[in-house]
Structure 1
Amino acid sequence: MTTAATPPAGAFARLRRDPAAVSSLAVLLLVALACLVGPLLTGHAYDRIYYDYPRTPPSWRAYPEPGTLGPALDRLALRMRVRAEDVSVTPEAVRLTLAADRPVDERVLGFLARSDLFGPARVLARSPDGRRLSVEAPVRRLRFLLGTDALGRDLLTRTLVAGRVSLALGLLATAVALGLGVAYGAVAGTLGGAVDAAMMRVVDILYALPFVFFVIMLVVFFGRHLGLIFLAVGAVEWLDMARIVRGEAMAIRRRDYVLAAEALGAGTPAILRRHVVPNALGPVIAFAALLVPRVILLESFLSFLGLGVQEPMTSWGVLIADGARAIESSAWMLAVPAAFLVVTLVALNLFGDRLRDALDPREA
């Protein structure tokens, strides 16, 4: 007994010869690799707040800039209740004398170590009465290639970590939609009749539910967390997959090899497993590739509304929402995550289109 071919034999060969498909796949792999490995190489934790660098613009130069050290020392001296005198600044370290009207407690040097500008200070000399303390502290050099956000967190690190969340959510929700949609649609299309009608009416009812209202109700009852977003998106996105697979299954069950299997006594589970599902994989794979960007965009929309990922975790939607509020004074806060999101969505859509064309039987 023969079956129809699964995806055309030359589909993936045509895909490899398509420059647009290869380029889009390369971009996706680079973005995924950057999001996976990049946060380990930036030198910053995604939730580390640098209080001295809020809304720092992107730069290839290392901070702090020379002109900012003097005012920063004056502010620290005020907090230490001393006076900063004889300040000498070099690119590697700063030397100064801490003076006060009473003996200076060396424990105040902890203010320098806790600063984002300086490292732990060491005492060079101390006056006999203890009112003057000569100290040296190394200058802490930091780079923010894509700037910082309103709290002083490195935007490059947060964008890459946000990419992990958005891409993982897109892939996991697509996998759920693939599993539920294929199983549900294949059963409905193969059985047909009253069973098919009842199953598809359930799909129609779920289609009629307002998605945002559904998410709000979940947030009200269960709170805000990442698993909730995954549940909300996965509960909706499988509906289109079910309809597509149902249509393919209704066409496949009329094929000669399926009729021959029924004549030989094959049961419905065997027909589903051996004939219907394998021969419906072409359009299913293509639709799954196009579903990933839809899920990412949907998560970004929910996070933009404040219904998605919550601090300190982040996603591209959260970063775009933050950047939109600060676009007049800190445009890079919007441009950086938006650029990553746009590049990823364009590459995913382009690859999905090319994959759909490659799996089209008419192209075989």
Structure 2
Amino acid sequence: MKRNWEALQQTNEERERIWRKTRSFAGDVWSRFRKKPTAIAGFLIIVLLVLFSVLGPLFTGKSYSEQDLNAANIAPRIKVFETPDGNGWLYITQSMKLLRVSAEGEFGEQLSKLREDSERQMLIFDYEGSELGLYYGKKPYLVVNPDTLVIAKSRRIRNRDYLLGTDSLGRDILTRLMYGSRVSLVVAFVAVIVNLLIGILYGGISGYLGGNVDEFMMRIVDIISTIPLTLYVILIMVLLGSGLGSIIVALGSVYWVGMARVVRGQVLSLKQQEFVLAARTIGSSTSTILFRHLIPNAMGAILVTATMLIPSAIFMEAFLGFLGIGLKPPLASLGTMCNDATENLRSCPYQLFIPAFVIVLIMFAFNFVGDGLRDALDPKLRK
């Protein structure tokens, strides 16, 4: 079949037109950021951690400071013994007490103790009119009938009342983990905001004015940098005392040094550009050039540096809490939880592993986001 092909009419304006969808700078950054799986994973982890720490305590129904010594050191997965009538289960606490446990793993009332049989190393409890024996020798177990020494059947079930177990004072680890994550995130974000304000202002002024002003301001930064960071923060904490405010002041007063150096370097490289010379030519003031031209163009490096400072601040807060100079009891933070867990590390290792895992998770998440922002804000990667 014969077809007649005709050339389309095309003007010179259409030939010169670039057929590409226009995109803003923010849209371009987001487009490159979302192409990195680790950055998206880190961002989702941060969002989930924020929801976990802010909204989580509303659903647990427990307080971070509520103590129940009868439920101390209960693991997330517990070993229970069947009752004589087979209608429930009993749990042996570390203090050699018996607690009722439902088939769903929820704790009930405590059985009353009748007497102690020291010869057979048993504690006798009352269960609905009959006697139960608790052998407290090398490996505790439940004896259904103290006379015949029949051992009750046992199994392991999930702890429904305390999903992540309890600590040495019977406090819910899940609830304390939520509050601890909240404290760590608040400390990190507030410290970074303070660092941004001080670091941007200090580094911007130093880099733009240059000369003797720059030399003097940078020598102050060098003096602060020579002091060991951990020693300086601990000294500030000792002088101001324990508490959330003291931690924020301690971190905010020293973490701005790195930000100031980054901003200074960016300003030094940008202030000789043509747009800065044009702004000077039209009579723009120093503050206008600095805050409307130089700082916005250096925002990429500033955001990446701020993102990298957050995990460092979280780790420092956890380290201070682990040393015992962080928050005052009974307030919870990831560091204080790790400190409390060292007493029962061999018998209850989960009390240390859970908050330590959250610390590692937070640090990896922010590092992944910072790495993704660094690539997304790099103009050399724009195609």
Change (3 A) 1:21 1:218: closer
Is 1:66 aligned to 2:98, yes or no?
A: no
Change (3 A) 1:217 1:342: closer
Number of residues of Structure 1 aligned to a counterpart in Structure 2 = 305
Change (3 A) 1:362 1:281: same
Mapped to 1, the partners of 2:207 and 2:174 lie a distance apart of 48
Is 1:231 aligned to 2:255, yes or no?
A: no
* CA deviation vs aligned residue, 1:102-142 (integer Å, no higher than 9, x gap): xxxxxxxxxxxxxxxxxxxxxxxxxxxxxxxxxxxxxxx97
SS of the residue 1:66 aligns to: strand
Is 1:346 aligned to 2:364, yes or no?
A: yes
Instruction: Tell me the residue number matched to 1:303.
Output: 321
Is 1:88 aligned to 2:128, yes or no?
A: yes
Structure 1: gaps of 5 or more residues: 1-5, 79-83, 90-94, 97-140
**TM-aligned CA deviation for residue 20 of structure 1:** 2.0
Instruction: Tell me the residue number matched to 2:355.
Output: 337
Structure having greater relative contact order (Cα 8 Å, sep ≥ 6):
1
Mapped to 2, the partners of 1:231 and 1:200 lie a distance apart of 22
| Selected match of 2:179 from 161, 168, 178 | 161
Q: Which has the higher strand share?
A: 2
Mapped to 2, the partners of 1:77 and 1:217 lie a distance apart of 54
**TM-aligned CA deviation for residue 60 of structure 1:** 8.2
Is 1:244 aligned to 2:284, yes or no?
A: no
Moved more, 322-331 or 141-150: 141-150
Mapped to 2, the partners of 1:85 and 1:197 lie a distance apart of 79
Mapped to 2, the partners of 1:182 and 1:174 lie a distance apart of 11
Which amino acid in 1 is paired with 2:345? I
Structure 2: gaps of 5 or more residues: 1-23, 82-87, 92-97, 101-108, 117-123, 132-158
TM-score, scaled to structure 2: 0.73
Contact 2:200–2:259 (8 Å) recurs in 1: yes
Aligned pairs for 1:153-232 (under 5 A) are 153-232=171-250
Contact 1:8–1:361 (8 Å) recurs in 2: no
Q: CA RMSD in A?
A: 2.8
Contact 1:62–1:143 (8 Å) recurs in 2: no
Mapped to 2, the partners of 1:347 and 1:191 lie a distance apart of 37
Moved more, 194-203 or 217-226: 217-226
Aligned pairs for 1:268-279 (under 5 A) are 268-279=286-297
Instruction: Tell me the residue number matched to 2:309.
Output: 291
**TM-aligned CA deviation for residue 18 of structure 1:** 2.5
Contact 2:301–2:374 (8 Å) recurs in 1: yes
Instruction: Tell me the residue number matched to 1:362.
Output: 380
**TM-aligned CA deviation for residue 148 of structure 1:** 0.4
Instruction: Tell me the residue number matched to 1:147.
Output: 165
Mapped to 1, the partners of 2:71 and 2:177 lie a distance apart of 17
Q: Greater Rg, structure 1 or structure 2?
A: 2
* CA deviation vs aligned residue, 1:241-263 (integer Å, no higher than 9, x gap): 00000000011100011011112
SS of the residue 1:10 aligns to: helix
Contact 1:245–1:280 (8 Å) recurs in 2: yes
Which amino acid in 2 is paired with 1:88? E
Change (3 A) 1:86 1:65: closer
Which amino acid in 1 is paired with 2:90? P
Change (3 A) 1:69 1:317: closer
**TM-aligned CA deviation for residue 325 of structure 1:** 3.3
Which amino acid in 2 is paired with 1:52? N
TM-score, scaled to structure 1: 0.77
Contact 2:112–2:126 (8 Å) recurs in 1: no
Which amino acid in 2 is paired with 1:328? R
Mapped to 1, the partners of 2:114 and 2:178 lie a distance apart of 33
